[in-house]
């Protein structure tokens, strides 16, 4: 049963609500097929699901029930899944090459988003692989190394203004607190879950929350966190930003059924403002280009009222 409780007010928001129900808990291996996962819904919302970045995840939800779906729906989502797995494989190979080259040159880097979250899904390729987001030791120049090892088939993003704007800890401090995970035989530094969730929440808001898969990422991270989750680290010391992060986590719970670690503070356990949820659903109902400006405009207007 989806935890989704909103009462949509328009056709478009109705579509986004159905999209949320399709994605709710989709990263878990479910023992039953949700009613919203029907051939009709998956056919009707195919464009929205694809632009949401959730086609492979949808395949993961339906592949145990193939006889219950039309052939065209099965083929459509299966192809999207194969495409996503292939892209993830290429993404991981490039990440491994670049990380190994940086390490050989003694350059410290922290992987943000991308594979650092993708590895927490039940399988590789269930979320789309975009840029390789690396936070590099600011004292080092990496251009020559990138030119030598990067195939240029994957975009490498080294500029993360969000970290400069919203974080008050230095690269060294973050690096010291990182977890080390392995991709093949290559060790890769990733932020602790608490920091990752905050970074993802702020990234989600910065881009107007237009891509539902980003909220799935937050849900997956929350559910992969253990009992020792440090809420004070996740929310940060700035009260206003803590509310932003809290609202976004609450949104993941309300729209996607994310299970939140215990002993969450009130800004996480209370419901997010209605306008916030409605705005995000309107973004999700638009399968076209991201609409961050209109979101920022609406957000500013609401915050000032």
Partner 1 sequence: MSTPEIQDELQSTRFEQRKLIARKIDEELLLFDEETSTAHCLNGIAGEMWMACERHSSAADVTDFLRTRWPDIEKEVVWASLSRMAAAGLLEETTGQEIISPARRELIRRLGFTAAAVLPIVVTSVLIPPAAAAASCGHLLAPCGGTNPPCCSGFHCLAGVCEPL
Q: Tell me the closest approach of the beta carbon of residue 94 to partner 1, in angstroms.
A: 8
Burial class for 58, CB neighbours closer than 10 Å (0-12, 13-18, 19+): buried
Q: Where does this chain bind partner 1 (CB under 8 A)?
A: 63, 79, 81-83, 85-87, 89-91, 93, 124-125, 129-131, 143, 146-147, 150-159, 289-290
Three-state SS for 135?
A: strand
Spatial contact of 215 and 251, defined as CB atoms under 8 Å apart: yes
User: Given strand 109-112, what is the order of strands in its sheet?
Assistant: 156-157, 132-136, 109-112, 186-190, 179-183
Nearer to partner 1, 79 or 173 (CB): 79
DSSP of 2-61, one letter per residue?
A: --------SHHHHHHHHHHHHHTTTTS--SS--TT--HHHHHHTHHHHHHTT-HHHHHHH
Nearer to partner 1, 68 or 173 (CB): 68
The region, left, alpha or beta by phi > 0 then psi within -120 to 50, assigned to residue 125 is left
Nearer to partner 1, 19 or 136 (CB): 136
Q: Tell me the closest approach of the beta carbon of residue 61 to partner 1, in angstroms.
A: 14
Measured CA to CA, the distance from residue 165 to residue 294 in angstroms comes to 21
Q: Tell me the closest approach of the beta carbon of residue 143 to partner 1, in angstroms.
A: 8
Q: Tell me the closest approach of the beta carbon of residue 188 to partner 1, in angstroms.
A: 18
Nearer to partner 1, 131 or 137 (CB): 131
Nearer to partner 1, 50 or 233 (CB): 50
Q: Tell me the closest approach of the beta carbon of residue 35 to partner 1, in angstroms.
A: 25
Nearer to partner 1, 79 or 263 (CB): 79
Q: Tell me the closest approach of the beta carbon of residue 26 to partner 1, in angstroms.
A: 17
CA distances from 140 to 98, 109, 144 (A): 15, 10, 11
Three-state SS for 217?
A: helix
Nearer to partner 1, 48 or 250 (CB): 48
Q: Which tokens in the block code for residue 196?
A: 């990752």
Nearer to partner 1, 94 or 217 (CB): 94
Q: Which helix (H) or strand (E) holds 157?
A: strand 156-157
Q: Which tokens in the block code for residue 113?
A: 């988003």
Spatial contact of 116 and 187, defined as CB atoms under 8 Å apart: no
Q: Tell me the closest approach of the beta carbon of residue 83 to partner 1, in angstroms.
A: 6
Q: Tell me the closest approach of the beta carbon of residue 166 to partner 1, in angstroms.
A: 18
């Amino acid at each position: 049963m989806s935890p989704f409780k909103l009462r949509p007010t328009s056709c478009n928001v109705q579509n986004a609500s159905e999209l949320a129900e399709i994605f709710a808990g989709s990263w878990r291996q479910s023992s039953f097929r949700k009613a919203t996962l029907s051939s009709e819904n998956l056919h009707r919302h195919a464009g929205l699901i694809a632009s949401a970045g959730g086609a492979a995840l949808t395949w993961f939800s339906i592949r145990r029930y193939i006889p219950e779906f039309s052939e065209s729906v099965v083929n459509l989502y299966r192809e999207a899944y194969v495409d996503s797995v292939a892209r993830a494989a290429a993404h991981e190979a490039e990440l491994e090459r670049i990380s190994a080259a940086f390490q050989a040159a003694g350059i410290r880097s922290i992987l943000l988003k991308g594979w650092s979250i993708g590895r927490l899904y039940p399988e590789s390729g269930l979320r789309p692989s975009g840029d390789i987001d690396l936070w590099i030791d600011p004292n080092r120049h990496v251009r020559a190394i990138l030119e030598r090892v990067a195939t240029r088939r994957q975009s490498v993003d080294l500029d993360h203004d969000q970290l400069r704007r919203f974080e008050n800890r230095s690269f060294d401090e973050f690096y010291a607190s990182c977890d080390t995970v392995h991709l093949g035989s290559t060790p890769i530094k990733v932020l602790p879950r608490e920091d990752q969730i905050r970074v993802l929440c702020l990234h989600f808001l910065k881009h107007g929350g237009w891509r539902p898969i980003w909220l799935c990422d937050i849900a997956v991270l929350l559910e992969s966190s253990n009992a020792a989750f440090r809420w004070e680290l996740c929310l940060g010391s700035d009260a206003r930003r803590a509310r932003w992060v809290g609202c976004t986590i609450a949104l993941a719970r309300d729209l996607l059924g994310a299970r939140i670690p215990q002993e969450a503070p009130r800004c996480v356990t209370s419901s997010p403002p209605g306008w916030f949820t409605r705005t995000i659903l309107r973004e999700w109902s638009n399968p076209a280009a991201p609409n961050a400006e209109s979101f920022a405009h609406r957000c500013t207007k609401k915050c000032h009222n």
